[in-house]
Structure 1
């Protein structure tokens, strides 16, 4: 089965087909983020309650997820560049669904690590890397808008999947909730990706072998690339650390279902913010957009650290959530604008290798701080400090090289 869409007659036909692919990415993101990116906090809370494992032990499994996924990021980008997204995203969806089902069946701690490893094999294909590599072939000037729409599915996933799983867990147990949601991921997303995840027939196949290695080598020698990578890694380390522990953090002051609702508030605010960054990215310097995004995330976490009542807690989640999607979408947009579309999957895949490693450090380091300090207070200020460092780093980024696409 070829990934290439049939030859298109005119720009409008290509645009329509590209938006169909974008809609498929939107639906894939609902389950990808709902069961993985935002789901980690629910799994941490549920597994701790059901099995008595410590926060650090389960956080270690989440860190293991990011570490195992690290080499997959470069592989997924290269595979989509060369062969197209259909089989890559289909396999990723199946792995994610199976891993969620497995989490509901665990009885030993090593089972948790195994399930997170399987999840790590699939998530890069259904996450920001897979979506951005897919859409990069369909869009150029409108890529920020297409990415914003597709990744709005991530917010919908947090608004729908996480509260639904929390309520199913409360009423029927975590095993039932994980089985239902993992099964739905396989039943809905796998057929969609098989049918709709195509690439343009006019897209040139990516070069392989030595040419691909040469492209990666040239990217790795660029100071601009490492500045983008450093800012992205540090900011995502803070964000993933926060999101992985958000429900346990909130459970210190709210019930689990109320905490899940606060996650939904975070995600709802993210819908507005994600479209905001898509609008701003077409009109303003991405470095300024990044500084504002990092600062708002830090402000939201700082408010949460100081909040004492439910209103302040929900407000903090809204402020932080407003830029959750921005921090996810900024790395691919920065890479595309500073390095152009050629070999995009490999360029962003290289960044994602390091991003995954640092994202893995986030939940683990927050969990260790929690256990060492007996609460999340120090962890919250630690994440605020990380975002401050990211602001300093991104201000050191120079302008795009002459001729870079999308300046």
Structure 2
């Protein structure tokens, strides 16, 4: 029995298992929401902005829970944390189909936010940091390739379930997928334990014992580099989040029809996957910080291109290519940077602390963009403002990683030895 368990817990089996659960978790908790907004509004007797506010509460809860959950994974491993997260997600999705009051809606979504923090990319990255060594970044890239198909699978699946059985039964099915697929995979295939835990010792990707001199979270929080990176990641996420909500209206402002704008938006998902494939094949030998500089600058360049180009298919396709590739690669960079700079021993806590402001920015981005449109009704003004914010975040990121690379090793801003 023990030999069989050791065999199935080979590192790439863990990546595949996490890939399957990422598709289901992202698809059922995150992407399916847009398809049930109207039904939830009718169920609780509220307008759609009020229902969307519940999703923002979920993102706020996810941000607040990210660092504590990362610390739990550092100490106890990801098996029980992600298993409990999947069980919670399943039960709460089923409960979401039974809400009748606004307070119930907000309470369920607050719980789903905690489930996000325990099941989506950040806890999965923390597990991979414990399992892999040199090839951790390739494992993260492979995992995000799975996650990139979540909307492709679950938007049509959820819509088919709603049309065939109703929105409440659709949420029941989504909840059962978390309970019957994700939870068992997490419980069966993820390695137990925290710092001392390792998967089977064969295959060179498995991490050896983590050096004892890696900085703990309280040490990292005294490093100015940490705050520079957090600021850059947060501003970058705020722009992407705002664009997700307002892209269609921005494209319509350039003279596109709704159908044409949707076509441009539909290109972005495949371009994210393409960016991750290119990173895996061509950029994986570069330091994540160098790849991050490139990915960061793709966003303001893409937005400036969109501001300047007319309703021409070639220019819009190039925008989708640059924008999608940048977003796809940034997911990998944000997962790899904590290990590159601070080691793997406290990866979960450090990555969770970095994720907190990013998740808050994702919640605030659409609201901030809406407020900007009230001040400057011309959508092009919003586009230029976001391009400026994106350029500032790229400049801060480039300056921060350059400053850290130039500092003497072992100082507050010095580069740690490769993990």
Q: What is the TM-score with the length of structure 2 in the denominator?
A: 0.78
Q: Which residue of 2 aligns with 1:35?
A: 28
Q: 1:44 to 1:81 in 2, by over 3 A?
A: same
Query: Structure 1 residue 406 and structure 2 residue 395: aligned?
Result: no
Partners of 1:241 and 1:366 within 8 A in 2: yes
2:17 to 24, 34, 39: 24
Change (3 A) 1:284 1:88: same
Is the contact made by 1:300 and 1:316 (CA closer than 8 Å) also made in structure 2?
yes
Do the aligned partners of 2:271 and 2:325 also contact (CA within 8 Å) in 1?
yes
Report the more deviating stretch, 288-297 or 242-251.
Answer: 242-251
Shift in Å, 1:149: 0.5
- Contact 2:250–2:380, Cα closer than 8 Å, also in 1: no
Would you say the 8 A contact 1:97–1:186 is kept in 2? yes
Question: Mapping of 1:153-168 within 5 angstroms?
Answer: 153-168=146-161
Distance 2:161 2:5 in 1: 46
Contact kept, 8 Å, 2:46 with 2:102, in 1: the verdict is: no
Tell me how far apart the structure 2 counterparts of residues 371 and 114 of structure 1 sit (CA, whole Å).
30
The match for 2:343 is 340
CA-CA distance at 1:230 after TM superposition? 1.2
Q: Does structure 2 retain, via aligned residues, the 8 Å contact 1:63–1:364?
A: no
In 2, are the aligned partners of 1:60 and 1:364 still within 8 Å (CA)? no
Unmatched runs of 5 consecutive residues or more in structure 2:
199-211
Return the alpha-carbon distance in structure 1 between the equivalents of residues 171 and 10 of structure 2.
Answer: 34
**Equivalent pair of 1:262/1:314 in contact (CA under 8 Å):** yes
State the SS of the aligned residue for 1:395. Answer: helix
**Could you tell me whether the CA contact under 8 Å between 1:30 and 1:157 is conserved in 2?**
yes
Q: Distance in 1 between matches of 2:418 and 2:88?
A: 34
Q: What is residue 286 of structure 2 aligned with on the other side?
A: 284
Q: Is residue 37–residue 48 contact of structure 2 (8 Å, CA) maintained in 1? A: no
**How much is the aligned-residue C-alpha RMSD, in angstroms?**
3.8
Rg comparison, structure with higher value:
2
**In structure 2, distance between residues paired with 1:58 and 1:18:** 40
Please, what TM-score do these two structures have when normalized by structure 1? Answer: 0.80
Q: How does 1:317-356 map to 2 (within 5 A)?
A: 317-356=320-359
The alpha-carbon distance between structure 1 residues 40 and 233, as it changes in their structure 2 partners (threshold 3 A), is farther
* 2:54 corresponds to: 61
* 1:181 equivalent in structure 2: 174
Q: CA deviation at 1:160?
A: 1.0
Query: Secondary structure of 2:258's match?
Result: coil
CA contact (8 A) 1:94 1:185 kept: yes
Matched residue of 2:10: which SS?
A: helix
Tell me if 1:94 matches 2:96.
no
Return the alpha-carbon distance in structure 2 between the equivalents of residues 245 and 186 of structure 1: 34
Write the deviation string for residues 330-361 of structure 1: whole angstroms up to 9, x where unpaired.
12311111111221112222222222222222
Residue 148 (structure 1) shift = 0.5
Instruction: Return closer, same or farther for 1:319/1:220 CA change in 2, 3 Å cut-off.
Output: same
Alpha-carbon distance change, 346 to 385 in structure 1, aligned in 2, over 3 angstroms: same
| Larger deviation, residues 79-88 vs 32-41 | 32-41
Task: Give ranges in structure 1 of 5+ residues lacking alignment.
Answer: 206-210
Alignment partners' CA distance in 2, 1:95 and 1:346: 21
Q: CA deviation at 1:124?
A: 1.4
Report 1:136-285 matches (<5 A): 136-169=129-162, 173-199=166-192, 203=196, 215-243=216-244, 253-254=257-258, 259=262, 265-279=267-281, 282-285=284-287
Aligned equivalent of 2:114:
121
Which whole-Å CA distance do the structure 1 matches of 2:218 and 2:188 have between them? 35
Deviation of the 1:392 alpha carbon: 1.3
> Relative to structure 2, which stretch is displaced further, 313-322 or 241-250?
241-250
Structure 1 residue 255: Cα displacement: 6.1
Offset at residue 63 of structure 1 (A):
2.5
Task: Measure, in 2, the Cα distance between the counterparts of 1:119 and 1:28.
Answer: 16
Distance 1:170 1:144 in 2: 40
Which segment is superposed worse, 262-271 or 392-401?
Answer: 262-271
